[in-house]
Structure 1
Amino acid sequence: MAAPTPPSADPRQRFEELNRRYAVELRLSAVSAGGGGIGGLVTAVAELTANPIWLIDPQRRVVSRSARARGSDFRPPEVDELLAHHGPADLSGAQPLLVAAQPARGVVRRHLLMPVRRDDCLFAWLVMAEVSGRLTREDSALVGRAAFHLASEYAVQRRVARASWNARATLARQLVRGHTRDDDIADAAEYLGVQADADRVLVYVSDVVGAQPSDEAHDEESLSALVAVDLGVEVLATRGREGMILLVEVPDGQAAVAFVHRVKQAMRRLLAAIGQPDATVGVSGVTRPAALQRAYRETREVVLCVDRFARTSERVIAVDDLGPARLFVANGDLGAVRRYVQDVIGALLDGGPGTADLLRTLQCFFDTGRSVRESAARLGIHENTVRLRMAKVHDLTGLDVASDANDQLSAQTALLVLRLEGHPAIPAFDERHGFTDDTERGKDTA
């Protein structure tokens, strides 16, 4: 880069210039050593120059800046405009890039632009604008050394954050495995500021087959942060056998069914937002810490059920949506399960007149806890119509779902497979608890 002003040829002036740079280095080093952090370094730089400076992150957000410059407050520079005519090679050196004024493109003054990076990781951009005084060689040196110290500070913070993340991931693994002594877990949780005895919902996210590797060092780290912000709760995360595990803390006073539904909705939104809408997700019920190991097994069974039978976009399903029949559906021979469905309710699958109503009524009967009255209310029909349809089911299939426990289990297992497959006569899983639209969901969670 051509320096804003050439170095002095006078040895005395050159000596004084080097002394000033040495003083700058001592000042920046003292701020770093004293724990001033990123904000402290930017403040120190601002005090060493009359021109305004900005620290801008890769998402073009201002991290820190000079407060004011000689009574005038200037808008942050557009980094993309400053970079428009410069390639990566122009920024590969140890010196800032001098960007000339280009009024036609909206760049009305000269700028010094320096990437704050360490190895291949870009943390931010440090920008100085020529506002209060002409840019000098000392300004260039100041920006270069400030970028070096800022990069060191960012690297330290990244290492600290990674150590904290690793500790939290270890705690999540301990909670799920349940092999560590309770007092050891309590001590680790207290150190990390985590409530060890809180109720949690365990979310198991299966890895997407064929998905491209993420740029994130830990997919579970970024996803857990998104879930925490979306739900406003503490979320621990770690890796499972073939996916990631999220432990979502349940807020005090939350109804269990409604909160599980909120978690499901959040996972659908966030996975779509990060480009993984096809991920299969199992969601546990509200679980005490001692039962998290079982919740992990149950959510993996949910994932197996969905992967084997689901033909629709509904791939975020709770353990309670499937019930105990998931054991057979998840682990049974695929052909045997399909034959079982045909044997149990095949007479209702031939598309004959009224069979769709019989299937819908049968599913509603189980979703309402075998309540004729509630089934009639939910379907908008008379209670006697529900009884007549149950009698018709008995006639066609031989299933006495009103009073025989074995027949009830057989019918529920067969219906579960149809629900996973997205049979048009079977309502979606969320309708099992009456969640039909955003308004109703809001009422349930209020």
Structure 2
Amino acid sequence: MGGLAVARPDPDSGPREREVIAAFADITTEAITATRLEDLLALVGQKLCHLLGVGRCSVYMRQDDGRFRGAAGWCGDDGNISAAVQAQEAGIPGDAFSREVIRSGAPVLISDVRNDPRPHRRTMEHWGVRAMLGVPLVFDGDVIGLIFVDNVAREHEYTDDEVALGELFGGLAALVVRQALQAARLAAQAEELDRQKRMLEFLADVHAKLTGAVLEGADIRAVVELLSDLAGAPVALLDEDFAVMTWTAPSALRAGPPSVGERARDRPALRTALADLSAARPSTVLEPSSLTGLGRRHVVCRLIVEGRPSGYLAVVEAGRALGDLDTKLAERGATVLALQVLSERRQIEAEGQARDDFLSDLLNNHRDVTQLARRGLPFGVDLTEPHVLVRLTVESGEGHPHASVARRLVVSDLALRLGTDEPPATTLPGAVVVLVRLGSATPDEVRAHVAAVADALVLRVRIRGGVVSAVCRGPEEFPRAHRELREIEELARSFGWSRRVVTVDELGLFRVVVSSGRVKEAVRFADELVRPVRDHDGADGALLPTWRAFLAAEARVQRAAADLGVHENTVRYRLGRIREITGKDPAALDTLLIARVAFQILELAGWFREAP
């Protein structure tokens, strides 16, 4: 049988119409008292089953996208089957039966499902349907829902009267269902408004607590701890390189540090997700994934300070699922933390400016020495104790960090290696100058620490080289020491030193050459002394290394032989060859002095690195 649109029953069917009206008395009561739309729809389907004498129904409702999704169901044998029906959809490809009911807006009967091509074959077989009646819920000319009834794997012959009753029932049911839908929407809107109101109240309270804490002097770590308490979850603050600056978690959770920081360094998918964050899109939810390497959901917010990215705030799922409220909380927290970062940065800059002014006066002899000694005390600098100056030449400009950032990284790393508080430092064009109190350390030990800093920061700050001054024991000695550092830095630039760190003391007599301003002449002199030996050196190239080892051993043949790993007679033979080539006795005092300076000049000038 096809799509059968049937007229209202004749007057003889009056008693059946009264049954419909009686059924709707129960439905109306349910519509008034029911708290769930699903229960009302299941009752509507159940009443239609009773009217038609069948044992099963399923109800589908039209969604905003026009699709008809399962909403409720009832079966005489199994009771409520809504969960199973809600997994279904009507009108899908292959379901011409449902589409005909929707298109016609009238009941459609299939008397022999197994031999009718219209119904969805797999669905009919799954439910064991033999005959089925589809009844539309029509309101104001639109089909808002569908009711399907059948007799659970048993035959049932639907009469014209029953089809007409179904149509009548569907029209009345549509009115009730429409009202219930409207009521459900209004209730949902009211609930959403109430939820938003409670969320706004909560966020206002969060904002008040966070700003109150900042106004009372809370530092960044204290703000992160407060955020963790409010969220009931671990919270971490990360810098631009995803290093964890500080983190905390409620003690009851026993959570470890967040993994997003270390994962972001080597997970392209994670870095890409975080790269999309901006002032316009301040937060994202990172789901657990093998691509990101995260085992838990993270809400991550971008910190924007003065229009520039300045790190990340992460809230980590632990103990409960994160939701929209956590995202709003994180965004509020990130805003307050950005302001706190800006405040602390301003304070550091102010203190740094005062310290820069002090160091500038100290290095340039712009103040009375007594006044300078007094001004250093607030910065933890006692100029009566031995200090050295460290001058590092750093790359600047596009592609390199700002000078203040380079200074902060250098000072922080150097303090960690020295085991002291961060030393005073200042930035000059192309350089960072650090004032280091020696304590029990020596200039050579400071040089080793500075070289380690240069190596550690090579990927973040390009340090071309550095010089450690002679020991200064009074304010009046610093201007001369710094002037000497500048001269050696200029020399290093002309010689092309690459990331070398030296002490002024190790330059020895070469300092006299530097101060004389006759460096080129000194290099030419040294080259004239040493080049004949290199030109006459044998295939093993042993003469120059032997001469250098002899000088380093302070003209002691036995020690030089041990350093070279050869016999003493071998050293004596090679020294004889050097005497023949140069016409100078390598063991003579004047030759020792001249050769020592010559080798130092050539080494600093990179002469030996160029040798074949």
8 Å contact kept, 1:56–1:125: yes
> In the alignment, which residue of structure 1 is the partner of 2:507?
322
**Alignment size in residue pairs:** 413
1:241–1:394 CA distance, 2 compared to 1 (3 A): farther
Deviation at 1:60, TM superposition (A): 5.0
How many Å separate the matches in 1 of 2:218 and 2:409?
27
Instruction: Give the aligned partner of residue 116 of structure 2.
Output: none
The structure showing larger relative contact order (alpha-carbon pairs under 8 Å, at least 6 residues apart) is 1
Relative distance call for 1:426 and 1:356 in structure 2 (3 A) is farther
Q: What's the offset of the Cα at 1:67?
A: 0.9
Between the aligned partners of 1:47 and 1:249, the Cα distance in structure 2 is 42
**2:320 maps to 1:135:** no
Query: Residue in 1 aligned with 2:489?
Result: 303
Q: Which residue of 2 aligns with 1:419?
A: 603
Within-5 A mapping of 1:264-413? 265-266=451-452, 269-270=455-456, 272=458, 274=460, 276=462, 279-289=464-474, 290-309=476-495, 315-328=500-513, 331-332=517-518, 334=520, 336-352=521-537, 359-370=544-555, 374-375=559-560, 378-379=563-564, 393=578, 396-399=581-584, 405=590, 409-413=593-597
The residue number in structure 2 matching 1:231 is: 418
Distance 1:377 1:87 in 2: 59
Q: Output one character per residue of 1:73-92: Cα deviation in whole Å (capped at 9) or x when no partner.
A: 48747475996785766653
CA-atom RMSD, angstroms?
4.6
Alignment pair present for 1:247 and 2:427: no
Q: 1: distance between equivalents of 2:537 and 2:272?
A: 70
- Alignment partner of 1:55 is 2:236: yes
Please give the alpha-carbon distance, in whole angstroms, between the structure 2 residues aligned to 1:211 and 1:85. 23
Opposite residue 176 of structure 1, the aligned amino acid is: L
Higher Rg of the two aligned structures:
2
In percent, how many aligned pairs have the same letter? Answer: 23
Matches within 5 A, 1:257-268: 257=444, 259=445, 262-263=448-449, 265-266=451-452
Match of 1:37 among 204, 213, 219: 219
Unmatched 5+ residue regions in structure 1?
Answer: 1-5, 428-446
Structure 1 residues 32 and 389: CA distance shift in structure 2, 3 A: same
1:349–1:210: structure 2 CA closer, same or farther, 3 Å change rule? farther
Partner-residue secondary structure (3-state), 2:384: coil
Secondary structure in structure 2 of the residue aligned to 1:350: helix
Q: Equivalents in 2 of 1:412, 1:41: separation in Å?
A: 60
Asked if structure 2 preserves the Cα contact closer than 8 Å seen for 1:302 and 1:317, the reply is: no
Q: CA deviation at 1:345?
A: 4.5
Instruction: Select the residue among 331, 337, 346 that pairs with 1:159.
Output: 346
Q: Is the 8 A contact 2:386 2:471 kept in 1?
A: yes
Which residue of 309, 319, 322 maps to 1:121?
309
SS in 1 for 2:536: coil
> 2:194, 2:452 → 1: CA distance?
67
Cα 1:111/1:48, change in 2 over 3 Å: same
Cα 1:374–1:13 shift into 2, 3 Å: closer
Give the whole-Å Cα distance in 2 for the aligned partners of 1:291 and 1:396. Answer: 45
Deviation string 1:242-268 (CA, Å, 9 cap, x unpaired) is: 53323333232x4555x2552464255
CA distance in 2, matches of 1:38, 1:210: 30
CA distance in 1, matches of 2:523, 2:484: 22
Pick from 163, 177, 199: which aligns with 2:364? 177
Post-superposition shift, 1:207? 4.1
In structure 1, the partner of 2:92 is none
Aligned partners of 1:208, 1:192: CA distance in 2, in Å?
A: 28
TM-score w.r.t. length of structure 1:
0.71
Give the equivalent residue in structure 2 for 1:27: 209
Partners in 2 of 1:386 and 1:230 — Cα distance? 41
